[in-house]
Amino acid sequence: MAGGLWLKRNYSYGLTLKFGGLLGNSDFGLYALTGLRGVKTEFSITETGCPGPDLQCPPTPLASFTEKVDRRFSAWTLGVGLERQLGERFAAQLEVRHTDYKRKSWDRLFDDGAVTIPSTLNGRETSAALRLVRYF
């Protein structure tokens, strides 16, 4: 089988809790974060291959199909951050977080029902951010 994958993120959402504090008498703070993330995706998978259950292709042309799939993923997020106070109302934050989305699996049948193609999508996301934060 040969194929391709096209993936689009429709929307994502999350809730994050941060725990930490200042390092001694310095202007630096260290924190850990945890949270729940979710994402709704839309993607299509294109497959081309033999339409029969045996490994030998018959003299007929290869079969092809495209499947459009919508899936929702949810996961826990973990991360760490370093914050430096810049006066009374501002801070610079450097943050790294990792999210490992739950695995989704399903089976796709060719139109004749003779061949089943198992599909699995397992997503991970690691991000780093540098922010300027204003406190009110």
Task: Quote the CA–CA distance of 101 and 37 in Å, as a whole number.
Answer: 8
**Tens digit of pLDDT for each residue in 113-130?**
666 677 777 778 899 999
The confidence band for 6, taking pLDDT boundaries of 50, 70 and 90, is: low
Position 36, amino acid: L
Q: Is the pLDDT of residue 74 over 80?
A: yes
Where along the chain do its domains lie?
Answer: 2-134
What global pTM score does this model have? Answer: 0.63
**Tens digit of pLDDT for each residue in 9-37?**
677 888 999 999 988 888 899 999 999 98
Which has the closest alpha carbon to 98: 122, 75, 82, 130? 75
To the nearest whole number, what is the mean pLDDT of the chain? 80
